[in-house]
Structure 1
Amino acid sequence: MSRDTSKIILFDVDGTLTAARKVIEPDMVTFLENLMHKYPVGLVGGSDLAKIEEQMGGRDRLNMFDFVFAENGLVALANGEIIAKESIQKFMGEDKIQELINFSLGYLSGVKLPRKRGTFIEFRNGMLNICPIGRSCTYEERGEFSEFDKQHGIRTTMVDALRKEFTKDGLVFSIGGQISIDAFPTGWDKTYCLRFVEKDFKEIYFFGDKTYKGGNDHEIFEDSRTKGFTVVSPEDTKKQVCQLFGIE
């Protein structure tokens, strides 16, 4: 059977191909390798390239994908080679970046959580990642915060405050992963990556877990150029892909 290059299948990483911040499981690797014999496949992650590489189990594993879009596509790879790179620092300027950082740290200083750790703001190439608990938390603490956040809406409330404060600055704030908020210029959500594939493929499929409004998969899920599907786990991803494409 020849490869159908009229379609491309794009996957979110956390919660879609892997458990949150965990390395991909061997059975998922096998599943994707088999899928890539049939269709081109790409990754679309909000994390930076180093984190996605870690979750995929190394650079060689990462390079097996036709496309890898780190930071929503601000860092774009095709067949293992970087084809484009954009910088939020260059786009926003230092004054506005510091204004956003200072407001976020001030806001977080007044938030009471079961526990706080360190690295509350992570400066990425294409976004600022704001984390109420701190990205240096353990995996168990990450899960604890996630459950606390579901009950108390910590991130949702902070997103509302950020949007109110930076209404006129052309910034988007969305809930990403289990523990953080992504801040980036308008249009730099996951739809950014579509510019690299929309001309070469007749159909673009996207699978992600945070497709709800405010989630970082929402914009690409709803985009008219994609056929979007909501998943709840890596196992659900495999099940839906198999059903949709008739794979046994």
Structure 2
Amino acid sequence: MADKRDTSIICIFDVDGTVTMPRLKITEEMDAFMENLKSKVVVGLVGGSDLSKITEQMGGSADVIKKFDYLFAENGLVAFKNGEQIGQENIQKAIGDETLQKLINFALRYMSDLVLPCKRGTFVEFRSSMINLCPVGRSCSQAERQQFAEFDKQNNVRQKFVDALREEFKDAGLVFAIGGQISIDVFPQGWDKRFCLQFLEKDNFKEIHFFGDKTMKGGNDHEIFADSRTIGHTVTSPEDTRKQVTELIYK
């Protein structure tokens, strides 16, 4: 590829497990790699977390919305381009408080019956565009997070929870997606990470490359990964992300 920046190509990245380890801050090495990548192609982030969590993971600076050409929080329901906000949605307005309360009540009852290695606080997190359900509790420590992740791999805690939610709310127009290591994202149909593509389509990119780790069916990267408008890449870690991007862009 020529030295000049190719603005017809965008590389857009999931956050947890792709650019950073789950809920940890970006490393200096990865930060420098992403900054250099911006000199080659257009670069964007799309995460399920809210803007404050993504900001924390990207180093804590409020300038994170200017650090990338596009930044999409909450699957793109909160959207920024070149540091300016270009989109905002609201789940409360979309589905109403009656359905929200039924969902939250059901989820809390279900989680109250789970027996896990540990339980901490914040089992339901209300974001502007989604509800995040966390059986172990989002206030768990990093060690407790890892402990639950291993327990979940062996016992399919979140998958069973998703199956119960889908059965209970099969006519509610909601999507239940496993995200990160410890939680489940709940949002209206069509509000998955593909939502951000509407903003990219306006800029007529020749190629949209998406990199994510939860690309399997049921994972919160699957829909955008499998979308016909993107070229999907499955990664296993930030190191693998760097390796695959290097092979793609710096060939």
- Deviation at residue 146 of structure 1 after TM alignment: 0.2
Distance 1:158 1:196 in 2: 32
For 2:146, the equivalent position in structure 1 comes to: 143
2:214 to 210, 213, 221: 210
For 1:221, the equivalent position in structure 2 comes to: 225
For 1:14, the equivalent position in structure 2 comes to: 16
2:92 to 71, 89, 92: 89
- Deviation at residue 80 of structure 1 after TM alignment: 1.2
1:193 to 188, 196, 210: 196
- Deviation at residue 177 of structure 1 after TM alignment: 0.5
For 1:56, the equivalent position in structure 2 comes to: 58
* Bigger mean CA offset, 194-203 vs 181-190: 194-203
For 2:170, the equivalent position in structure 1 comes to: 167
Distance 2:220 2:147 in 1: 21
Stretches of 4+ aligned residues off by more than 6 angstroms: none
Distance 1:240 1:59 in 2: 29
For 2:26, the equivalent position in structure 1 comes to: 24
Query: Which one-letter code corresponds to 1:226 in the other structure?
Result: T
Distance 1:197 1:61 in 2: 19
2:240 to 236, 239, 244: 236
Task: List aligned pairs for 1:113-128, cutoff 5 A.
Answer: 113-128=116-131
For 1:176, the equivalent position in structure 2 comes to: 179
Distance 2:218 2:186 in 1: 12
TM-score using structure 2 length: 0.97
- Deviation at residue 235 of structure 1 after TM alignment: 0.2
Question: Helix, strand or coil: the match of 1:7?
Answer: strand
Question: Helix, strand or coil: the match of 2:37?
Answer: helix
Distance 2:182 2:94 in 1: 26
Distance 1:15 1:187 in 2: 23
Question: Helix, strand or coil: the match of 1:46?
Answer: coil
Q: Is the 8 A contact 2:65 2:82 kept in 1?
A: no
Query: Which one-letter code corresponds to 1:11 in the other structure?
Result: F
Q: Is the 8 A contact 1:56 1:62 kept in 2?
A: no
For 1:107, the equivalent position in structure 2 comes to: 110
Query: Which one-letter code corresponds to 1:239 in the other structure?
Result: K
Q: What is the CA deviation profile of residues 77-108 of structure 1, one whole-angstrom value per residue up to 9, with x for unaligned ones? A: 01111111000011011111000000000111
Q: Is the 8 A contact 2:123 2:136 kept in 1?
A: yes
Gaps of 5+ in 2: none
Distance 1:142 1:59 in 2: 26
Gaps of 5+ in 1: none
Question: Helix, strand or coil: the match of 1:59?
Answer: coil
RMSD over aligned Cα atoms: 0.8
1:74 to 62, 74, 77: 77
- Deviation at residue 63 of structure 1 after TM alignment: 1.6
Q: What is the CA deviation profile of residues 38-72 of structure 1, one whole-angstrom value per residue up to 9, with x for unaligned ones? A: 11100000000000011001222442100000000
Query: Which one-letter code corresponds to 2:210 in the other structure?
Result: F
- Deviation at residue 3 of structure 1 after TM alignment: 1.2
Distance 2:82 2:8 in 1: 17
- Deviation at residue 19 of structure 1 after TM alignment: 0.7
